Amino acid sequence: MKKANKLFLAVLLAAVGVNLQAKVMESSVATVNGRPILASEYDAYLDGVVEQYQLAAPQFLQQPYAKDILGREVLKELISKELLYQAAEEEKIQVKDSEIDAGVNEIKTRFIVDETTGKPDEKGAEKRFNQALKKQGMSLKAYKNKLSKDIAVRKLMEQKLQATVKPVEEADAKALYANVEAVMKNNTKKIKALEKEDPAKLKEAQAIAAKLKQLTGEQVRIGHIYLAVTKDMKPEEVKKKEELAKQIKKEIDGGMDFSEAVKKYTEDKNALASGGDMILLKGVAPKAIDSKAFSLAVGKVSDPIKTDIGFHIIKIKEKRAERSISYDDVARDLAQYIAQQRVQLAMAEYIEDLYNKADVKVTIKYESDPLLEEAQANAKDTKAEAKKDTKADAKKDAKAEEKAAETDKK
Domain contains 274: yes
What does the alpha-carbon distance between residue 366 and residue 361 come to, in Å, rounded to a whole number? 15
What does the alpha-carbon distance between residue 224 and residue 221 come to, in Å, rounded to a whole number? 10
Domain contains 310: yes
Residues of the chain scoring pLDDT < 50:
1-25
Burial class (CB in 10 A: 0-12, 13-18, 19+), 282: middle
Domain contains 148: no
Domain contains 252: yes
Which domain covers residue 284, as residue numbers?
218-320
Burial class (CB in 10 A: 0-12, 13-18, 19+), 288: middle
Q: List beta partners, residue 113.
A: 120
Burial class (CB in 10 A: 0-12, 13-18, 19+), 30: buried
Residue 297, C-beta contacts closer than 8 angstroms, at least 6 positions apart: 316
Residue 410: the pLDDT is 52
The number of beta carbons lying within 10 Å of the beta carbon of residue 63 is 9
Domain contains 69: no
In this prediction the pTM is 0.62
What does the alpha-carbon distance between residue 259 and residue 268 come to, in Å, rounded to a whole number? 13
C-alpha 120: how far from chain center: 28
Rounded to 5 degrees, what angle do the CA atoms 353, 357, 362 make?
Answer: 100
Residue 17: the pLDDT is 45
Residue 20: the pLDDT is 43
What does the alpha-carbon distance between residue 181 and residue 187 come to, in Å, rounded to a whole number? 8
Domain count, the chain: 1
CATH number at residue 222: 3.10.50.40
Domain contains 156: no
Domain contains 84: no
Domain contains 370: no
Residue 285: the pLDDT is 86
Burial class (CB in 10 A: 0-12, 13-18, 19+), 132: middle
